[in-house]
A = this chain, B = another copy of it.
Amino acid sequence: MVYKTGQSVVPGKLNVHLVPHTHNDVGWRKTVDQYYVGSNYTADEGCVENILDSLIPALLANKNRRFIYAFFQRWWRDQSKIVQNIVKQLVSSGQLEFINGGMCMHDEAATNYIDMIDQTTLGHRFIKDEFGVTPRIGWQIDPFGHSAVQAYLLGAEVGFDSLFFWRIDYQDVAKRKKEKSLEVVWQGSKSFGSSAQIFASVFPESYAPPTGFNFEINYGSPIVQDDINLFDYNVQERVNDFVSAAISQANITRTNHIMWTMGMDFMYQYATTWFRQMDKLIHYVNQDGRVNALYSTPSIYTDAKYAANESWPLKTDDFFPYANTLNTYWTGYFTSRPALKGYIRMLSGYYLAARQLEFFKGRSKTGPKTDTLADALAIAQHHDAVTGTEQQHVADDYAKRLSIGYKEAEELVATSLACMVESASKTGCRNPATKFQQAKDNTCPLMNISYCPPSEIDLSRGKNLVVVVYNSLGWKRDDVIRIPVINGNVTVKDPSGKEIESQLLPIANASLGIRSFSTMAYLGKSPSVAPKYWLAFSASVPPLGFSTYIVSGAKSSASASVRQTFYRSERSQNKTIEVGPGNLKLNYSGNEGKLTNYANVRNSIKAFLEQSYSFYSANDGTEPFISPTDGTEVFQPSGAYIFRPNGTHPIKSEGQVSFTVLRGSLLDEVHHRINSWIYQITRLYRDKEHAEVEFTVGSIPIDDMIGKEVVTRITTTMKSNKTFYTDSNGRDFIKRIRDYRSDWDLEVNQPIAGNYYPINLGIYTKDNRTELSVLVDRPVGGSSIADGQLELMLHRRLVTEDDKGVREGLDETVCVVDKCEGLTIQGKYYLRIDPLGEGAKWRRSYGQEIYSPLLLAFSEQDGDNWANSHLPSFLGMDPSYMLPDNIAMITLQELDEGKVLLRLAHLYEIGEDKDLSVMASVELKKVFPEKKIIKITEMSLSANQEKAEMEKKRLVWKVEGSAEKKSTVLRGEPVHPEKLVVELAPMEIRTFIINFSYKQVHH
């Protein structure tokens, strides 16, 4: 029979929008490829190929059927032109709608905004190129908490009209149901307010259909049996079920539009099973007439909501942390798999730099590209990737993809730098003579474990080591470079050939241990030589440019400017030790090596300061509690997602503290062996006013079968009044108050886990005099559990699984042959105390330096003739120019078609800094001194539509109780095509596509 399914919205009736969808993780229990082809069934059942293959005929069978989709590109590539044309028709008719449209549904806690933009841009431009459409809808239905940056930046600023999501706190959702405030207008940014708001809709239960309406193959919801010739005819019964589910949802929803999310994880394996039933439901429910059922999409639903002309409750800030019930805080994943998180963050910065170098060299059609790394980084942002909530083999797969992408990008980087040092970049360069050490990882990704073969060469027989140092920031930059070397007597020359100051530091035994274990575990080999020293020297590099340093063997030990001081802890000596070659001084107690004081001699900051390690013993979930949401007994251990501590255990040194101070002209190092599995080096640089803490944590012992979550705590006497600040995806800082939520009256059940927040850039707290800031090198969880105190969770090793679906405990191990041990993490955080109101400068500018470290490339050179045949330095911008202090260039990328994608970001929020929270200008002519801009087009954030066009289409939502006045938000003016000056207001990110013609330039 032919069912009547062409229903549209009916005014005056309750409209049930059936939104057919499937939720396809790009990796979780199995890898993204396994999900695509449907292999590794024992790990998980999903098969994306089934979904899409079966979807097309199902949509063709009835033009009223609709579907929304992601995870598309790979299938698309495999299809014939015929199928592609059919799909194009389905997209253009609106039967098939792309929502969200990124390469993945990224996580919102452990992701950096630059990565979020990059992966969304990648997806949006693919969809634009293939189908000519721009997604209108945000769809973040599974991430475990939701960020402000997602709402305003990856929502409003990419031109979305609405954002649909699931997973908010159970107490919050209960209140919102009561107040019908699951649908709100969300203003995620203090700086932008209503100019970057979005209609946001929280699903009441999940992204599954109401109970009894899941029609997945082999699933079991009662089908609509409407063949009167067969037994079990049940049309009226199913219509009644439908109406009653609709009414119960209508009772917690404003307007007479409700949405049913008709799908679930990897469902629509055989799409017809769903559509067959939905066809019938729409037909019979509308025949019944009590409610109106229709095939819909989030777009149609959004338009219907908008047409209702309602005012909606206002939501600001974000939806962190997420607890789905009592004691079940999803705050463990902020730190889970810190090595993977660190790798992703490192490559994110590398990707930014590599694209710049690709731009300088000119994008090659055939040679190595950054595209593979782009893809790998994009899917690594997935909410079961960077989150650490995937199975181990899947985490390995992400790492493998990243590594493959990195290798290709590294080749590109080496080639580009070679072209640039041969000054051939302008005319195009295919096969430069200079070879940077590709085979040996010319950029030394394993330098963190003091493994860098290109620098570990014998310089005693006339060989020189060429170190090209590239700066991807838009500012000139001075930094101390540290590289492992085997020779003690070396000299360093700067680009002008002048010998400069350098410093040797012995490599700690702890580092050498990791070096030898990890190279064996990951490279399968034990390096024949072991470096003895870190060679440190100060590099100065122009914006978007490089400087070349030559390291040579010294004639005598005297010629190397090396100063070293060893200090061993001595209990008897009860005096304080002051460390720090520059303005910043840290004091340690001589007997225990305990940090006691912080001082900056420049600005007279003096503060009591302690730093310590603790671990939380993980709840093993054997003692159940009763869930207030559904009355069931819950057994909730800590796991990859969940942080549920049982107790706090300060980590004391085992026996005598091993405490060593190394002093030098450039930096001092303080080494602490905290216990047998925690080692710490604190570095104070002569020319920097922060402390750099490098921690080595692991392997965390679990012989007692108790999971452990290791934190470091920074303790001051500041009266911070429960208040601290954490960043949203590395961008806006959000105020957090301990044991408090602004949206509802919090019932505190987990005083630790319930106060944890995701940290990407940093965390700070303040009192009426000072600010204490901590910046991180990767995403971690953190909090301020006591006034004046900040803590970061650095590493987690857990024994049990937390029953959130991943089916594996979070117990990362590293093996050499049969010997496995818990994963050791090495990372850094950075600490500084500023006078009140002055912390932002450091957090913002140094935060950018952490994200974009200097890129090093090595080459060997016999003799002294490098400078004869190579450019010693390179300036991408006009030599007189650099970007303003409050601006970062977060994208510079040559697109396939030769155009260039440029993205500039103002780094400060409104009111954050008295000098820098102001409108800034970038002179593009000076940014691109050798090129002529013939066209510049301002684009939406994801560069898939012109910004003006986006703004014209934007729906303007009304906020409950707020006046109708248009808020006056500062934004930069449109760019004048002649003047080519880009204005950026606080927090503004502007995206351009630029067409160049090359100028004739004479050197």
C-alpha gap A457/B100 in the complex (Å): 79
Given the contacts A37-B223, A270-B270, A231 and B54 also touching, CB distance less than 8 Å: no
Residues of B within 8 A of A57 (CB): 57
Q: A217-B217, A231-B33, A232-B33 are in contact. Are A50 and B223 (CB under 8 A)?
A: no
Q: Say if the beta carbon of A803 comes within 8 Å of chain B.
A: no
A487 within 8 A of B: no
A457-468 near B? 1/0 per residue, CB < 8 Å = 000000000000
Contact mask for chain A residues 18-47; partner B; CB cutoff 8 A; 1 contact, 0 none = 000000000000010110111111100101
Q: Which residue in B34, B217, B220 is a CB contact (below 8 Å) of A42?
A: B220
Which of A50, A74, A222 has the most chain B CB within a 10 Å cutoff? A50
Contact of A227 with B by CB under 8 A: yes
Contact B270 A38 (CB under 8 A): no
Bound form: Cα–Cα A230–B33 in Å: 6
Contacts of A50 in B (CB 8 A): 217, 270, 272-273
Chain B residue contacts of A223, Cβ below 8 A: 37-39
Contacts of A37 in B (CB 8 A): 223, 225, 227, 230, 232
Mask of A40-82 contacts with B, CB within 8 angstroms, 1/0: 1110010101100110010000000000000000100010000
Tell me, rounded to whole Å, the shortest Cβ–Cβ distance linking A753 to chain B.
36
13 additional A-B pairs beyond A33-B232, A39-B223, A74-B230, beta carbons within 8 Å, are A33-B231, A34-B231, A34-B232, A37-B230, A38-B223, A39-B222, A49-B276, A50-B272, A53-B272, A217-B269, A218-B218, A218-B269, A270-B270
Provided the pairs A217-B217, A270-B50 are in contact, do residues A227 and B78 lie with their beta carbons within 8 angstroms?
Answer: yes
Report chain B residues within 8 Å CB of A53.
272, 276
| Of the residues B31, B227, B230, B273, contact of A231 by C-beta under 8 Å | B31
In the complex, the answer to whether A230 meets B36 with C-beta atoms within 8 Å is: yes
CB-based contact B54/A218 at 8 Å: no
A269 / chain B contacts, CB cutoff of 8 Å: 217-218, 270
Residues in chain B near residue A222, CB distance under 8 A:
39
Q: Is there a chain B Cβ closer than 8 Å to A522's Cβ?
A: no
Pick the contact of A220 from B31, B33, B41 — CB < 8 Å? B41
Question: CA A219 – CA B221 in complex, angstroms?
Answer: 20
Once A218-B218, A219-B41 are accepted as A-B contacts, the answer to whether A54 and B225 lie under 8 Å apart by CB is: no
Give the docked Cα–Cα distance between A218 and B43 (Å).
11
Q: Is A397 an interface residue (CB 8 A)?
A: yes
Q: Report the minimal beta-carbon distance from A281 to chain B, rounded to whole angstroms.
A: 15
Is A218 touching B272 in the complex (CB atoms < 8 A)?
no
Q: Quote the shortest CB–CB distance from A643 to chain B (angstroms).
A: 32
* A42 contact set on B, CB distance < 8 A: 220
Give chain B nearest CB distance to A283 CB in angstroms: 15
Alpha-carbon gap, A47 to B216, bound state (A): 12
CA distance A276 to B269 in the complex (A): 14
* B residues less than 8 Å from A49 (CB atoms): 276
Contact with B along A729-743 (1 / 0, CB 8 A): 000000000000000
Taking beta carbons and an 8 Å cutoff, which residues of A are in contact with B?
Answer: 31, 33-34, 36-42, 45, 47, 49-50, 53-54, 57, 74, 78, 217-223, 225, 227, 230-232, 269-270, 272-273, 276, 397, 400
CB<8 Å pairs between A and B, sample of 22: A33-B225, A37-B225, A37-B227, A37-B230, A38-B273, A39-B222, A39-B223, A41-B218, A41-B219, A41-B220, A41-B221, A42-B220, A45-B218, A47-B273, A49-B276, A54-B272, A57-B57, A78-B227, A217-B217, A231-B397, A231-B400, A269-B270
- From B33, B47, B74, A217 is in contact (CB under 8 Å) with B47
Residues in B with CB closer than 8 Å to A221 are: 41
Q: How close is A549's CB to chain B, nearest CB, in angstroms? A: 40
Q: How far is the CB of A707 from chain B (nearest CB, A)?
A: 31
A215 CB to nearest chain B CB (Å): 9
Q: Which residues of B contact A47 (CB under 8 A)?
A: 217, 273
Closest Cβ–Cβ distance, residue A216 to chain B (whole Å): 10
In the complex, A555→B323 CA distance in Å?
A: 92
Of B38, B232, B272, the residue contacting A39 (CB under 8 A) is B232
Which residues does chain B contribute within 8 Å of A54, judged by CB atoms?
Answer: 54, 270, 272
Q: Which chain B residues border A219 with CB–CB below 8 Å? A: 41
A534 CB, min distance to chain B CBs, angstroms: 37
User: Is the CB–CB distance between B225 and A39 below 8 Å?
Assistant: yes
CB of A828, distance to nearest CB on chain B (Å): 32
Residue of B nearest to A54 (CB): B270
Instruction: Give every chain B residue within 8 A of A232 (Cβ-Cβ).
Output: 31, 33-34, 37, 39-40
A404 to chain B, nearest CB (A): 10
Complex Cα distance, B394 from A232, in Å, reads 13
Residues of B with C-beta under 8 A to A74: 230
Q: How far is the CA of A646 from the CA of B854 in the complex (A)?
A: 83
How near does chain B come to A224, taking the closest CB pair, in angstroms? 9
Distance (Å) between the CB of A115 and the closest chain B CB? Answer: 22
CB distance from A44 to the nearest CB of B (A): 10
Is B270 within 8 A of A217, CB to CB?
Answer: yes
The 8 A-B pairs at the shortest CB distance, nearest first, are namely A41-B220, A270-B270, A33-B230, A33-B231, A45-B218, A39-B223, A57-B57, A37-B225
Chain B nearest Cβ from A394, distance in angstroms = 11
Report the nearest B residue to A31, measured CB to CB: B231
Closest CB in chain B relative to A375 CB, distance in Å:
11
Which residues of B are found within 8 Å of A276, using beta-carbon distances? Answer: 49, 53
| CB of A217, distance to nearest CB on chain B (Å) | 6
Chain B neighbourhood of A400, CB < 8 A: 231
User: Once the chains are docked, how many angstroms separate the CA of A223 from the CA of B39?
Assistant: 6
Max chain B CB contacts within 10 Å: which of A218, A227, A232, A400?
A: A218
Q: Considering the complex, give the chain B residue whose CB is closest to the CB of A216.
A: B218
- Contacting residues, chain B, for A231 (C-beta < 8 A): 31, 33-34, 397, 400
Residue from A40, A49, A230 with most neighbouring chain B CB atoms (10 Å): A230
Could you say which residues of chain B place their CB within 8 Å of the CB of A31?
231-232
Per the bound structure, the CA–CA distance linking A227 and B39 in Å amounts to 12
Closest to A400 in B: B231
Closest to A231 in B: B33
Distance in angstroms from A791 CB to nearest chain B CB is 39
Q: How far is the CA of A34 from the CA of B233 in the complex (A)?
A: 10
Determine the chain B residues whose CB is within 8 A of the CB of A227 once the complex forms: 37, 78
Taking the closest CB of chain B, its distance from the CB of A679, in whole angstroms, is 36
Q: Which residues of B have CB within 8 Å of A40? A: 232
A38 cross-chain contacts in B, Cβ below 8 A:
223, 273
Chain B: minimal CB distance from A229 (Å): 8
Chain B residue with the shortest CB-CB distance to A53: B272
How many Å from the CB of A225 to the closest CB on chain B? 5
**A270 nearest CB neighbor, chain B only:** B270
Interchain CA distance A400-B230 in the complex, whole Å? 12
A273 contacts which chain B residues (CB < 8 A)? 38, 47, 50
Cβ distance A163 to chain B, nearest Cβ, rounded Å: 32
- Report the minimum CB–CB distance from A361 to chain B (whole Å): 26
Residues of B within 8 Å of A218, CB to CB, are: 41, 45, 217-218, 269
CA A54 to CA B222, docked complex, whole Å: 20
Distance A180 CA – B934 CA, assembled complex (angstroms): 82
A41 → chain B closest CB, angstroms: 3
**A219 to B269 CA separation, bound complex (whole angstroms):** 12
| Closest residue of B by beta carbon distance from A34 | B232
Question: Whose C-beta in chain B lies nearest to the C-beta of A234?
Answer: B39
Question: With the chains together, A217 CA to B49 CA distance in Å?
Answer: 11
Q: How far is the CA of A432 from the CA of B48 in the complex (A)?
A: 65
Q: A404 — nearest CB in chain B belongs to which residue?
A: B231
Docked CA distance A276–B54 (Å):
12
Query: Which residues of B sit under 8 angstroms from A270, Cβ to Cβ?
Result: 50, 54, 217, 269-270
Q: Which residues of B contact A33 (CB under 8 A)?
A: 225, 230-232
Assembly CA distance A619 to B36 (angstroms): 49
